[in-house]
Structure 1
Amino acid sequence: MNLYPLGKFLCSVVFYPLYGIKVIGKENFPKEGGVLLCSNHIENFDPPVVGITCPRPVHFMAKEELFKMPVLKSVLPNVHAFPVKRGMSDREAFRKTIKILKSGQVVGLFPEGTRSKTGELREGLAGAGFFALKGEAVVMPCAIIGPYKPFRKLKVVYGKPMDMTIYREKRASSEEVTAVIMDEIRKLIELNK
């Protein structure tokens, strides 16, 4: 059962007025084709906030532990989330991500791996670069600019799509590509503070 449209509607009704969400650059988002959506990670609410502001449905990796919780284990697969084992190479999650991207859909990723307790952008993990290189998709940088405080402005900024062809041709490493992606996210944060 696909609960994504219902989930998006319910989250929109709550989050837009509560956090005064302002979306910038939504028109930059590709209307079709595989997209690796990479965002900074400042709060637990980041996945639903990215999900409601993105013009296309987003598939998210979520930590495996969440799929063992009573209500979430039923809901998460029906809102396009799939499990990933943290702290190790999870081949099944990697394969699923590449398959989703190659089928022309959107995968949402937080390259930092976990949320930043200070709100400052941290270094990204190599996985983002790996998916960007192998997924035959464009990368969409995104910045969430807080704070998550009721009735204050929360901004979600979408940058320009990043074509990965040049990095594939020059056989760039996953780490190099992740650094380039993180740099784009950093610029979005600095320009829109």
Structure 2
Amino acid sequence: LYIWRLGFPIVRAIALLLCPMRVVGLEHVPERGPYIIVGNHISWLEPEWIAWAVKRPIRYMAKEELFEWLFVGGLLRVIACFPVKRGTSDRRAFVTALRVLQAKQVLGFFPEGHRSESGAMITAHPGIAAIALRSGAPLVPVATTGAKGAFGRFWRRDLTLTFGRPFYAKELGETEPQAVTDAIMRRVAALLPEDMRGVYA
């Protein structure tokens, strides 16, 4: 995380300059120990905003193709992301995610896989289920509102991050990966206004 410590303050300052934000429910976020941040996905700057709010490095998965772009790939490395092959069972990414949590770090997840064009939640991919169940780490839901349209509508003052209470995947009463994932995403949806809950309304 050496590169993160050097580069993240710069990325964070740019993100906050372009779009100030309000944070709700920060008292629910553990100050130490491993956990999984899971949220909706409407802006490419969400990783920086969330890391700023919790004041800890967060290791995110990002689709492998993004690392092929010079600027984007460099930015992802600065904020300590690691690649995942979408549409496959990527064991390397799975093992990396478990090691992040075993090292008592924070793992970040946007299970929808890509930004929602409408701002409403879309069906999430089931990859988070195995990691949450296998690791036993708590999940912390976070909902982003007011961020849709960056950079097109960037100078906004209604950006809000809302954190919910931590919970464990085993509490959800599901075992099938997609069912576990959907139950997790409903916890995120509960923090959003109704018109943004989409398939998890």
> TM-score, normalised on structure 1?
0.87
1:92 is aligned to: 92
1:30 is aligned to: 30
Q: How many residues align?
A: 190
CA distance in 1, matches of 2:155, 2:63: 27
Offset of residue 71 of structure 1: 4.3
Secondary structure, in 3 states, of the residue corresponding to 1:128?
A: helix
Equivalent residue letter for 1:161: P
Offset of residue 72 of structure 1: 4.6
Equivalent residue letter for 1:30: P
Select the residue among 168, 175, 180 that pairs with 2:178. 175
Offset of residue 70 of structure 1: 2.9
Equivalent residue letter for 1:150: W
For residues 68-118 of structure 1, the C-alpha deviation after alignment (integer angstroms, 9 at most, x for no partner) is 233454553343111111221111001111121122211101011111111
Compared with structure 1, are the counterparts of its residues 18 and 75 closer, same or farther at alpha carbon in structure 2 (3 Å cutoff)?
Answer: closer
Q: Which stretch of structure 1 is more off in the superposition, 148-157 or 125-134?
A: 148-157
The answer (yes or no) to whether the contact 1:26–1:55 under 8 Å persists in 2 is no
1:159 is aligned to: 164
Aligned ranges for residues 9-28 of structure 1 at < 5 Å? 9-28=9-28
1:8 is aligned to: 8
Q: Which stretch of structure 1 is more off in the superposition, 107-116 or 10-19?
A: 10-19
CA distance in 2, matches of 1:171, 1:42: 27
The answer (yes or no) to whether the contact 2:39–2:142 under 8 Å persists in 1 is yes
Taking only the aligned residue pairs, the percentage that are identical comes to 32
The answer (yes or no) to whether the contact 2:169–2:184 under 8 Å persists in 1 is no
Offset of residue 50 of structure 1: 2.0
Aligned ranges for residues 1-193 of structure 1 at < 5 Å? 2-74=2-74, 76-147=76-147, 148=150, 149-167=154-172, 172-190=175-193
Secondary structure, in 3 states, of the residue corresponding to 1:53?
A: helix
Q: Which stretch of structure 1 is more off in the superposition, 106-115 or 54-63?
A: 54-63
Equivalent residue letter for 1:43: S
CA distance in 2, matches of 1:79, 1:17: 18
Unaligned runs of 5+ in 1: none
For residues 3-49 of structure 1, the C-alpha deviation after alignment (integer angstroms, 9 at most, x for no partner) is 32343322332222422211111121112222111010012222222
> TM-score, normalised on structure 2?
0.84
CA distance in 1, matches of 2:18, 2:79: 22
Q: Which stretch of structure 1 is more off in the superposition, 78-87 or 118-127?
A: 78-87
CA distance in 2, matches of 1:154, 1:113: 21
The answer (yes or no) to whether the contact 2:146–2:156 under 8 Å persists in 1 is no
CA distance in 2, matches of 1:17, 1:75: 17
* RMSD, aligned α-carbons: 2.2
Secondary structure, in 3 states, of the residue corresponding to 2:104?
A: coil
The answer (yes or no) to whether the contact 1:37–1:106 under 8 Å persists in 2 is yes
